[in-house]
Chain A
Amino acid sequence: MSDERLERPIVALPAMPGGLGPRRLADASDEEVLTLLASGSELAFRTIWQRYGAAVFSLCLRRLSDRGAAEDATQEAFTNIWKRAATFNPDRGSAAGWLFAVSRNAAAQEARHHRRDAVPVAVLDQSQAADEEEAVTRLAVHAALTRIPATERAVLELAYFDDLSHSQIADRLSLPLGTVKTRIRSGLLRLQQYLEGARP
């Protein structure tokens, strides 16, 4: 998935429901995109996929430990996202939280289908609730990463996922050390902005 697409206007939409007006869809918050999706917008659906596709697939894979089952669960989750976007209520929680709930339920259904241990859904004790909260955060972080420029995302991934030092990243990407530091700083700030916007 390219983020260049998200940097540019996806298409000029002169009269978008939800008060989006002619803004770039890529700039819209997850909540705004879900609201637009509820009106049947395919572009909004694609935007949600671009932002959350990898995150939902990762969540399902983590819960099911089977790539095929995770693919089925992801497809089921996005089927429900498409059909039930109208049930999302921003007053009751964040878009990431709603998308997590839909994805978790799809994974649980897939687990039951394969007679694996069902994922706890209804009653959560304290540790399970903490796990759920962390999973929502993980989903939001992965989604936010898709919205920052590729140049910044690349250095953040090397720094925080691959644990490389700034100097190692500079060597790896043939960039001046200062550029690496600048991109990490600006990438973190952008992520912070998106994550704060995503908090319930």
Chain B
Amino acid sequence: MSPEDVEEQLRRAGRPEAPPEHLQRAVLNLPRGSSPRISRTRVVRLGVAAALALAVLAGVSIVVTRGNPAIQPVATVQLRNAVGAGAEVRIGSPNGPNRPLELSVQHLQPGSERYYELWSYGDHPPMMLATFMTSKDGSCTIRLSIPRTADWQDLVITPRDRADQPLLCSNHGRC
């Protein structure tokens, strides 16, 4: 194959169409056992229903969240970086095949509302545990379940889709 062949193939290929962001999110969630594909019509209907339900439940959720005690941690893991941001992960006791986990993040890139990912680098290959978003002050608290056998000591927070760019790490050598 000559460079001229490559030029010809490029011309014939034409510019690829960029997939929309929501498709990327849907596809990248497939390995995590997301539900089977739902038709777009159904998605619209579900979206409307979900929006209505959210509007109704908004006030209730605040009350529930305030009233819901934090998990009883059996271990706590601190994540830090060099510029003062931090996170704490509270690990709960196993409940069946999974265990609860609560993540609190502070001062993570304040001023922007971004997506982040929580990874367990102690698992091989590394396992993404959660995708989350912070408020504008760079903080958030989320609760989730992870497999009881998942490693929770070597945790890393990265920007979404940037698994090579650790922002906060429990193993400080990584950040």
**Are B15 and A72 in contact (CB-based, < 8 A)?**
no
Q: Does B96 touch A at the CB level, under 8 Å?
A: no
Once A141-B13, A188-B3, A195-B9 are accepted as A-B contacts, the answer to whether A53 and B124 lie under 8 Å apart by CB is no
A contact patch SS: helix
For B164, give its contact among A9, A53, A141, A142 (CB under 8 Å).
A9
Q: Shortest beta-carbon distance, A93 to chain B, in Å? A: 18
A141 to B14, CA, bound (A): 9
Q: Shortest beta-carbon distance, A195 to chain B, in Å? A: 6
Q: Shortest beta-carbon distance, A55 to chain B, in Å? A: 6
Select from chain B the residue with minimum beta-carbon distance to A14. B124
**Are A54 and B17 in contact (CB-based, < 8 A)?**
yes
**Are A192 and B6 in contact (CB-based, < 8 A)?**
yes
For B20, give its contact among A8, A71, A192 (CB under 8 Å).
A71
Interface size class of B (residues with CB under 8 A): 35 or more
Interface size class of A (residues with CB under 8 A): 35 or more
Select from chain A the residue with minimum beta-carbon distance to B37. A75
Q: Does B137 touch A at the CB level, under 8 Å?
A: no
**Are A75 and B27 in contact (CB-based, < 8 A)?**
yes
Which residues of chain A come closer than 8 Å to B37, judged between CB atoms?
Answer: 72, 75-76, 79
Which residues of chain A come closer than 8 Å to B39, judged between CB atoms?
Answer: 72
Once A42-B125, A161-B15 are accepted as A-B contacts, the answer to whether A75 and B23 lie under 8 Å apart by CB is yes
A49 to B2, CA, bound (A): 28
A195 to B3, CA, bound (A): 11
**Are A137 and B164 in contact (CB-based, < 8 A)?**
no
Fill in one digit per residue for A71-113: 1 if any B CB lies within 8 Å of its CB, else 0. 1101110110010000000000000000000000000000000
**Are A134 and B27 in contact (CB-based, < 8 A)?**
no
